[in-house]
Structure 1
Amino acid sequence: MKQIYARLLRLLWGLVLYALGIVVTMNAHMGYAPWDAFHVGFAKTVGISIGTVSIIAGIIIGIITVLLGEKLGLGTILNMVLIGVFIDILLGFHIIPIANNSIFGIIMLITGLFIIALASYFYIGSSFGAGPRDSLMFALTRKTGLPVGVCRGTIELLAVFVGWRLGGMIGIGTILSAFLIGFCVQTTFKLLKFDATEIKHETLDQTYKNLFSYKKEEFHEKEAIENLKP
């Protein structure tokens, strides 16, 4: 039981860090990353918070991935909701500085990308399932037979285009984010000696079964202890 709680804590910490990384890259004011451009643009158009848009988009994407045959994990569901909540909290408290020049902006952007990479280490390592956007990428790859890079690139370009049309900030930071995020993730994983391909993610029903089995084992252990008492 302690193991699943430790994994859950790792997942939650990863989601907090992910939201922090997103806010840092946004406050760099160098141009938003693809999905952030979409979230900000949609938030401006509709008049709701960026975190709320992130939640709505995550839920819709999650539904689409299920319809395409992908299975959701606990991490997928918490990703849909909590990252948006944490983004709104961080933005609401104004604890992350806003860059006022290009040099500071680039430093903040790269820092934010490395925070996201570190968040991915914790989040993926919890093995509770991929995020909704990653699940969509996997579903499209499986359905179309196209390379995963093509599917991911198409999704990102669509998010950028829609975000730009809705008023999301597109700039050099958008290009840097697209090219540097892979490097940041690879470097972070290498330093931490973490191989994401070795992680076997649990689906939601597997997590439930494991949780139930843990409780059953605890019950039998307590029962055995009670029987040993004089």
Structure 2
Amino acid sequence: MATLSPSSGLSNLGPLAQLKAGRLPERLFRLLVGLWLYGLAIALMVKGAIGASPWDVFHLGLSLHLPVSFGVVMIITAVVVLLGWIPLRQMPGLGTVANSLLLGPFADISLAMLGVPESLWLRIAYMLGGVVTCAFATALYVGAQLGPGPRDGLMTGLSRRTGWSIRKVRTIIEVTVLIAGVLLGGVAGVGTVIFALGVGPLTQFFLRYLVVRLDEPAPRAAVPEEA
């Protein structure tokens, strides 16, 4: 997750306004492609087995204790996180729902399609490819401006409620889920550190080119003064 500046071109719109902001077919396409690529990025890092993202270390650890697939664990986690939006008064958008329901199945499909790399160099390539793909995918679906993912919304909601910086809240959340994931049996590694350091700047870079510029509200006509 990246900390986004106002200059990123992202608008602060409600769920209905997001749908009415124009270029909807293009934005829906970008959302779906972005989520598919995000699922592929997760699978690349998991198959590389030298450290997944903090959230995926948690998902991996939890999947060891539940009779469901990795992707289903992602859906369950997303639903639980969305419940945390209620006291924060966060409003989900279409992209939030799509992220919650589709990202897990997309990750499961990619995990089934990818083979297990045998050499260390190929595992490193998987990991690095996963980090870059994740950043590109995040910029693509966030840039569609149809609502944040569950985990992103939790971060921004907590930041707004507590007055803490996005960086501080993000760090607290990701360290917490990483520790929980390791305690559950998930494995962190070099890839986890590289992801934590690299995905934010890369996402910010890709957002420069992938944010869909939305229609600005039409200015209100001036009311003529009475003579």
TM-score band, normalised by shorter chain: 0.7 to 0.9
Q: Which residue of 1 aligns with 2:24?
A: 4
Measure, in 1, the Cα distance between the counterparts of 2:25 and 2:139.
17
> Pairwise mapping of residues 50-65 of structure 1 onto structure 2 (< 5 A)?
50-65=70-85
User: Which of 103, 107, 116 is 1:87 aligned to?
Assistant: 107
Measure, in 2, the Cα distance between the counterparts of 1:112 and 1:199.
29
The unaligned stretches of length 5 or more in structure 2 are 1-19, 216-227
Measure, in 2, the Cα distance between the counterparts of 1:77 and 1:195.
20
Measure, in 1, the Cα distance between the counterparts of 2:153 and 2:198.
21
- Higher helix proportion: 1
TM-score calculated relative to the size of structure 2: 0.80
User: Which of 4, 26, 39 is 2:59 aligned to?
Assistant: 39
Measure, in 2, the Cα distance between the counterparts of 1:29 and 1:156.
19
The unaligned stretches of length 5 or more in structure 1 are 201-230
> Pairwise mapping of residues 196-211 of structure 1 onto structure 2 (< 5 A)?
none
Worse-matched range after superposition: 96-105 or 157-166 = 96-105
Q: Which residue of 1 aligns with 2:125?
A: 107
Measure, in 1, the Cα distance between the counterparts of 2:194 and 2:74.
22
Q: Which residue of 1 aligns with 2:204?
A: 186
> Pairwise mapping of residues 1-230 of structure 1 onto structure 2 (< 5 A)?
3-92=23-112, 95-190=113-208, 193-194=209-210
Preserved contact between residue 15 and residue 119 of structure 1 (Cα < 8 Å): yes
Preserved contact between residue 140 and residue 207 of structure 2 (Cα < 8 Å): no
Measure, in 1, the Cα distance between the counterparts of 2:115 and 2:202.
22
Query: Structure 1 counterpart of 2:196, which letter?
Result: A
Measure, in 2, the Cα distance between the counterparts of 1:47 and 1:31.
23
Going from structure 1 to structure 2, the CA distance change for 1:139 and 1:199 (only over 3 Å counts) comes to: farther
Structure with more contact order per residue of length (Cα contacts < 8 Å, sep ≥ 6) = 2
Is the partner of 2:75 in helix, strand or coil? helix
Is the partner of 1:46 in helix, strand or coil? coil
Measure, in 1, the Cα distance between the counterparts of 2:201 and 2:171.
16
Worse-matched range after superposition: 153-162 or 112-121 = 112-121
Q: CA deviation at 1:127?
A: 0.9
Task: Report the aligned-residue RMSD.
Answer: 2.1
Measure, in 2, the Cα distance between the counterparts of 1:187 and 1:106.
22
Preserved contact between residue 82 and residue 150 of structure 2 (Cα < 8 Å): yes
Going from structure 1 to structure 2, the CA distance change for 1:112 and 1:188 (only over 3 Å counts) comes to: same
Is the partner of 1:30 in helix, strand or coil? coil
Measure, in 1, the Cα distance between the counterparts of 2:85 and 2:214.
20
Percentage identity across paired residues of the two chains: 33
